Structure 1
Amino acid sequence: MHSSLSEPRLLALPLLLLALYLARRAVFGKRRKYPPVAGTMIHQLLNLERLVDYQTELSHRYRTFRMLTPSRNKVYTVDPANVEYILRTNFSNYGKGTMHHDVLEDLLGDGIFNVDGDMWRHQRKVASFEFSTRVLREYSTGVFRDTAAELAGIVAAAGAAGERAVDMQDLFMRSTLDSIFKIGFGVSLGGLSGSSQEGAAFARAFDDASEQVLYRFFDLLWKVKRLLNVSSEAAMKRSVRTINDFVYAVIDKKMEHMGRDQHEFAKKEDILSRFLLEREKDPGCFDNKYLRDIILNFVIAGRDTSAGTLSWFLYVMCSNQHIQEKIAREVREATTGDRDVGVQEFTVCLTEGAINGMHYLHAALTEILRLYPAVPIDVKYCFSDDTLPDGYAVKKGDMVSYQPYPMGRMKFLWGDDAEEFRPERWLDHDGVFVPESPFKFTAFQAGPRMCLGKEFAYRQMKIFAAVLLYRFRFEMWERHSTVRYRPMLTLKIDGPLYVRALPRRALMSRNSENSTL
């Protein structure tokens, strides 16, 4: 969405009148202290293609501010004290709310990321148990190793020793989707191999739907468009139909398998099977629609976030070759030492101890999440009038957001080098990773809704990164090219990420030959 220079002038008068009217209605005659008005939702629409950078610019001026809409305030903050208050201290007063649920319902339904109350507590309880089991940890590690090995083989074939461009974002999206479906639902999707047309159609529809729901937050007429089945809402309906057809087919196949041999089914280690077994104990606890919602919430948690982070990681590695080399050395030292082994043997070396010992890689991924958080802005609904720790008042019905992307760029939080990629900020003098407060580093939320899959995500990303950097050195295909993000619920690179993948064995041999000359 690109606006002409005349648009701000055309909108200036109605914007001014809207701001004056709403500010007067909200503040006049009140003694409460409200966050400053930084603009309106129309300003956000005009900056939609660069929304999180626009929000960052405003956050440099105001740590807490309001954006006005015809019906409510949108309050944004980068103050860690406010974040802790919203996410932990007064957790019960800030939830998803009806507006957030309505906007995302077609895509995420009543899944864990879109509900409050008993539904959230039930899913959290079951998911918390599953994520804490040794069985899931070992099963998921095996899936990550196998998928990473398959990915490395595809990169080697597609890259042809650096002679062809490789779109790594596309490969990350397909490989993480394969992983989460295998772990979450016991299904081999075939995304990397391209063996499933249905899986590819599902992935495209899921991408399109997650972008379309973002526009709903700014489109006052989206419900009318949905009723009339026109414009973006017609496309949304088509995407959701494709998604539903695929997911319900997965559920039906699992139920058919369970009906054939329940004893054998009980040994299944995937998450969907565990939920189906839970339903067997209490058949009335949830239906297939609820299972569908659970599935899609795990997909967006386990696929989009990790794939996006790995894409940003590789992009930054291409611009920081010395850091890429340092990570590659750490990976080698933690696994094979001086030995050169094939990818399958290397994955066996990725033991839990080896993975946990890669502190610099962990720091580099964390630094990526600081600057390019998977969820750039997180919205909460205020259930009753309240006052934040910074003294600003919020009203019942306000949408209150903490902002991981702008927070990662605040100098008052991270110092003068806040916008610099520097993994060392996460390490002590002995090179050991030291975490920050989750209310300052908010990539995984905090408080009761702290991401259950945090360690799961780190393990996946570290295995993928270790396998790739052990095998290849990456450069941007066009040396000085830059990338932008795509406005979606998650922070993804807009368009392909074309890189050159150079096999490290060939590089080492070349360097050895040069040293003898």
Structure 2
Amino acid sequence: MGAQGDHHRYYSTVPSATIAGGLALLALCSYYLLVVVVRRGDKKAKSKRYAPVVGTVFHQMYHVRRLHDYHTDLFREHKTFQLLAPAGRRQIYTCDPAVVEHILRTNFANYGKGPFNYENMTDLLGDGIFAVDGEKWRQQRKIASYDFSTRALRDFSGAVFKRNAAKLAGVVAGRAASGQPMDFQDLALKATMDSIFTIAFGLDLDTLGGGSSGEGSRFAAAFDDASEFTLLRYVNAFWKAMRLLNVGSEAALKDRVKVVDEFVYKRIRDRAQELSGSKAQADPDSRQDMLSRFIETATSESGTVDYKYLRDIILNIVIAGKDTTAGSLAWFLYMACKHPQVQEKVRQEAIKATDASETATVEEFAQSLTDEALNKMHYLHAALTETLRLYPSVPLDNKQCFGDDVLPDGSSVSKGDIVFYVPYAMGRMEYLWGDDAEVFRPERWLDDCGEFQQQSPFKFTAFQAGPRICLGKEFAYRQMKIFAAVLLRSFVFRLRDGVGATVNYRTMITLHVDQGLHLTATPR
């Protein structure tokens, strides 16, 4: 079963005595935090008003397999609350758009990743854009912003998306012809891995076609596991001790990061050697990928290539371009199988928006998905956005407070405190979305003319907001729309276990379907 199988065995073989011991520890630690820590609060703290305490971080450990629903349950009682932690800093959680706007825009300078997030994430993401603040963040943001805005990258990435969407449709057609169910999430992860690696590294792994000799698949599995073990650090108060002893999830994280590093460093070395050769000088197309431009920029500025810096930049791009899009496509098809009428509406819209004939091949139809055609697909855009409302790619995010502050609701935040905002829970709050908040209804995003209408990014937080809003937002929508249009034009998808079947998420940095999304496909 490989790395992923090892992970599931790690969680499924815990003896009952260990579980009982863990519950006893939870009760003891919770008592300590709720009683002892509160009693020893200083006089200054007593003069301030803080968000209500609803539990401790140890309760999160107990609920880790349903972490986001645990938070959602708590938010039904309080828009903002805190969970006590043993580290001396408060952990504040919010679903209040006013508070979200305050920390992401209004008082942006006072909130950032901070040492708390950097320490948790650095083993996997290093000094990449998702883990750093200050000059390192500004420099990478500037480079990435320029890259994402260029016509060259837009055209290059669009061609890659169309090619891989057609390739994915070919794989689905093979499964449909044989009557075999498929794990669509696994296929989507391979397709988006191939896409982002071509765009980021200039290398087609061909994991979807099986051409990577297993190397790309091992990297992908190790990267997914490392993502999950990294998230566990946010709910496991003992992870530093586990890292010191090299046991449990920390030992597993170290092992997975080693696999990731070996794979990525090899690709960087190979690319740097290619760019220094005569072939790259004679072939401008070999320099279209992002890594090539980063290498050329780094070389021109310093004369040397910092492999660690490139590793960190590229891995952050990979997690942004692979995991988020593949997971969102899987959740979208899950919703489309639950609501079959969505599939037909998307198909009809895609056919109407393009100039492709009814007899056009998959490849020809993919090529007809120009930017102009994609911009006409308001219903598909709404359906994908509604999916992200309920199943955001990053279900939980946070910022660390750099100086004492007061939030818009009047509650105090102290220097060093962590403020979490929770896109997963926000999408389920009735006071934000109405009585049908938990209902999948793409029409909520369309105006009377059927055109897509934006909502406040501080209410719909799937792409962050403010100065750190996701640079790849339109990039992600374009990939998802191309893949969805190609697939739904050619196939009808159904859940393998029937329309009443349900799935759960896997608790990791990005939101994936646990154990995969098993579908059947019927050609149209």
**TM over 0.5: same fold?**
yes
Higher mean alpha-carbon deviation, 56-65 vs 8-17, is at 8-17
Q: 1:16 aligns with which of 23, 31, 35?
A: 31
Please say if residues 76 and 403 of structure 1, whose CA atoms lie closer than 8 Å, have aligned partners that are also in contact: yes
Q: Give the SS at the match of 2:331.
A: helix
For structure 2, the 5+ residue unaligned runs are 1-10
Higher mean alpha-carbon deviation, 222-231 vs 250-259, is at 222-231
How much does 1:186 deviate? 0.4
> For the structure 1 residues 28 and 420, does the alpha-carbon distance in structure 2 shift closer, same or farther, using more than 3 Å as the test?
farther
Matched, 1:458 2:477: yes
- Provide the residue aligned with 1:36 in structure 2: 52
Q: Distance in 2 between matches of 1:338 and 1:129?
A: 37
Tell me the TM-score normalised to structure 1 length. 0.94
Tell me the TM-score normalised to structure 2 length. 0.93
Higher mean alpha-carbon deviation, 360-369 vs 253-262, is at 253-262
- Provide the residue aligned with 1:222 in structure 2: 239
Please say if residues 76 and 401 of structure 1, whose CA atoms lie closer than 8 Å, have aligned partners that are also in contact: yes
Please say if residues 315 and 476 of structure 1, whose CA atoms lie closer than 8 Å, have aligned partners that are also in contact: yes
- Provide the residue aligned with 1:87 in structure 2: 104
- Provide the residue aligned with 1:388 in structure 2: 407
Please say if residues 184 and 270 of structure 1, whose CA atoms lie closer than 8 Å, have aligned partners that are also in contact: yes
**1:287-327 residue CA offsets vs partner (Å, 9 max, x unmatched):** 11010001110010000000000000001101101111111
Q: 1:263 aligns with which of 275, 281, 288?
A: 281
Alignment of 1:146-161 (within 5 A): 146-160=163-177
- Provide the residue aligned with 1:47 in structure 2: 63
How much does 1:27 deviate? 6.8
Matched, 1:366 2:382: no
Code of the aligned partner of 2:248: S
- Provide the residue aligned with 1:355 in structure 2: 374
Please say if residues 258 and 265 of structure 1, whose CA atoms lie closer than 8 Å, have aligned partners that are also in contact: no
Q: 2:115 aligns with which of 98, 105, 112?
A: 98
Please say if residues 257 and 265 of structure 1, whose CA atoms lie closer than 8 Å, have aligned partners that are also in contact: no
Matched, 1:198 2:212: no
How much does 1:16 deviate? 2.7
**1:6-40 residue CA offsets vs partner (Å, 9 max, x unmatched):** 97577445423321222334475522110000100
- Provide the residue aligned with 2:226 in structure 1: 209
Code of the aligned partner of 2:299: E
- Provide the residue aligned with 1:515 in structure 2: none
Q: Distance in 2 between matches of 1:274 and 1:434?
A: 36
**1:408-464 residue CA offsets vs partner (Å, 9 max, x unmatched):** 011111111111000000000010000001111000001110100000000000000
Q: Give the SS at the match of 2:360.
A: coil
Please say if residues 149 and 467 of structure 1, whose CA atoms lie closer than 8 Å, have aligned partners that are also in contact: yes
Higher mean alpha-carbon deviation, 317-326 vs 143-152, is at 317-326
Q: Distance in 2 between matches of 1:191 and 1:6?
A: 43
Q: Give the SS at the match of 1:66.
A: strand
Length, aligned pairs only: 503
Q: Distance in 1 between matches of 2:25 and 2:242?
A: 25
Please say if residues 66 and 76 of structure 1, whose CA atoms lie closer than 8 Å, have aligned partners that are also in contact: yes
Identity among equivalent pairs (%)? 54
Q: Distance in 1 between matches of 2:514 and 2:427?
A: 20
Higher mean alpha-carbon deviation, 47-56 vs 217-226, is at 217-226
Q: Distance in 2 between matches of 1:113 and 1:353?
A: 32
Matched, 1:430 2:476: no
How much does 1:396 deviate? 0.9
For structure 1, the 5+ residue unaligned runs are 505-517
Q: 2:321 aligns with which of 287, 295, 302?
A: 302
> For the structure 1 residues 293 and 337, does the alpha-carbon distance in structure 2 shift closer, same or farther, using more than 3 Å as the test?
closer
Matched, 1:482 2:502: yes
> For the structure 1 residues 285 and 386, does the alpha-carbon distance in structure 2 shift closer, same or farther, using more than 3 Å as the test?
farther
Code of the aligned partner of 2:385: T
Q: Give the SS at the match of 1:204.
A: helix
Q: Distance in 1 between matches of 2:256 and 2:23?
A: 33
**1:110-146 residue CA offsets vs partner (Å, 9 max, x unmatched):** 0000000000000000110000001101110000000
How much does 1:286 deviate? 6.3
**1:171-199 residue CA offsets vs partner (Å, 9 max, x unmatched):** 00000000000011101111101111211
Matched, 1:112 2:129: yes
How much does 1:373 deviate? 0.2
Q: Give the SS at the match of 1:160.
A: helix
Q: Give the SS at the match of 1:500.
A: strand
Q: 1:243 aligns with which of 245, 254, 260?
A: 260
> For the structure 1 residues 363 and 167, does the alpha-carbon distance in structure 2 shift closer, same or farther, using more than 3 Å as the test?
same
Q: 1:63 aligns with which of 65, 75, 79?
A: 79
**1:348-372 residue CA offsets vs partner (Å, 9 max, x unmatched):** 2111111110000000000000000
Taking only aligned residues, the RMSD between alpha carbons, in angstroms, comes to 1.8
Q: Distance in 2 between matches of 1:9 and 1:241?
A: 35
> For the structure 1 residues 453 and 215, does the alpha-carbon distance in structure 2 shift closer, same or farther, using more than 3 Å as the test?
same
Q: Distance in 2 between matches of 1:42 and 1:10?
A: 9
- Provide the residue aligned with 2:192 in structure 1: 176
Higher mean alpha-carbon deviation, 7-16 vs 203-212, is at 7-16
Code of the aligned partner of 2:162: R
